[in-house]
């Protein structure tokens, strides 16, 4: 199990937007600049909820399945995984169906259940539903590429294994940060260094923004931008 970070650090990370987090990770050079984040097809459903920060609890589902017994058994295994996860938890669900997003895997019942167990959000490459009901629940963030009216006949087929969402591998216990801009994975090895790294990014970028003035020469413009 992932050792939880100090609550004060989680609170600080929630006060930072995701693009700044993404930029602050880059100087550590521990992954490529095209790695560790989800693509634009995974949309933020509740921008008004602000920033989501939490530890991944993973599962794979099939949105078109016939095995109701597997659905029930693995669903409770998933609930157990949330309950045993460090908090806050983020549900991360990969749809491995031949026809993903044909049925909705998540709605009011699932979100209420998972929130009670300590989840603050959901990240999935499948479909969700009950958009207004989940908005009324409040305090939870959603990232998905699709909405679908029916839950069809779905089944969880794996719980607690690595998943791949939008080309990004996410393991149980990974630290996720998301807002209206998308979702980025914060390497736990540098998580406690992020506040300082963020301040450095803000200082550097703030200097550029402050230095850009109407009417300046291109030579002056280039000097201002020469901050990397």
Tens-place pLDDT, residues 164-210: 999 999 999 999 999 999 999 999 999 999 999 999 999 988 888 88
* Average pLDDT value over all residues in the chain: 92
Domain annotation covers residue 70:
yes
Nearest CA to 221 out of 42, 209, 212 is that of 212
Domain annotation covers residue 99:
yes
Beta pairing, strands 141-144 & 182-186: unpaired
Structural domain that includes position 44: 7-189
Domain annotation covers residue 196:
no
pTM: 0.92
| Cα–Cα distance measured from residue 152 to residue 104, given in angstroms and rounded to the nearest whole number | 7
70, pLDDT greater than 90: no
Token pair in block for residue 28: 């550590």
Q: Write out 42-86 in H/E/C secondary structure.
A: CEECCHHHCCEEEEEEEEEEECECCCHHHHHHHHHHHHHHHHHCC
| Cα–Cα distance measured from residue 13 to residue 175, given in angstroms and rounded to the nearest whole number | 11
What CATH number is attached to the domain comprising 170?
3.50.30.40
Domain annotation covers residue 42:
yes
Domain annotation covers residue 219:
no
| Cα–Cα distance measured from residue 22 to residue 31, given in angstroms and rounded to the nearest whole number | 11
Domain annotation covers residue 205:
no
Domain annotation covers residue 65:
yes
Residue 227: band (very low, low, confident or very high) from pLDDT cuts 50, 70, 90: low
The count of structural domains within the chain is: 1
Domain annotation covers residue 111:
yes
156, pLDDT greater than 80: yes
């Amino acid at each position: 199990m992932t050792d939880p970070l100090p609550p004060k650090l989680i609170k600080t990370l929630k006060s930072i937007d995701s693009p700044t987090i993404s930029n602050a990770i880059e100087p550590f050079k521990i992954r490529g600049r095209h790695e560790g984040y989800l693509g634009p097809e995974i949309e933020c459903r509740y921008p008004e909820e602000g920033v989501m920060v939490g530890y991944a609890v993973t599962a794979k589902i099939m949105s078109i399945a016939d095995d109701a017994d597997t659905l029930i058994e693995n669903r409770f295994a998933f609930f157990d995984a949330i309950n045993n996860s460090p908090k806050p938890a983020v549900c991360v669900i990969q749809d491995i169906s031949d026809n993903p997003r044909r049925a909705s895997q998540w709605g009011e019942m699932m979100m209420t259940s998972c929130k009670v167990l300590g989840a603050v959000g959901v990240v999935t490459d499948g479909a969700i539903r009950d958009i207004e009901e989940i908005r009324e629940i409040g305090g939870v963030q959603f990232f998905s590429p699709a909405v679908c009216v029916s839950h069809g006949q779905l089944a969880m087929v794996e719980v607690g294994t690595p998943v791949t969402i939008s080309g990004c591998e996410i393991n149980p216990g990974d630290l996720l940060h998301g807002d209206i801009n998308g979702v980025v994975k914060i390497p736990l090895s540098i998580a406690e260094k992020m506040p300082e790294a963020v301040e450095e990014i803000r200082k550097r970028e703030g200097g550029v923004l402050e230095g850009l003035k109407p009417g300046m020469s291109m030579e002056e413009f280039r000097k201002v931008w020469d901050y990397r």
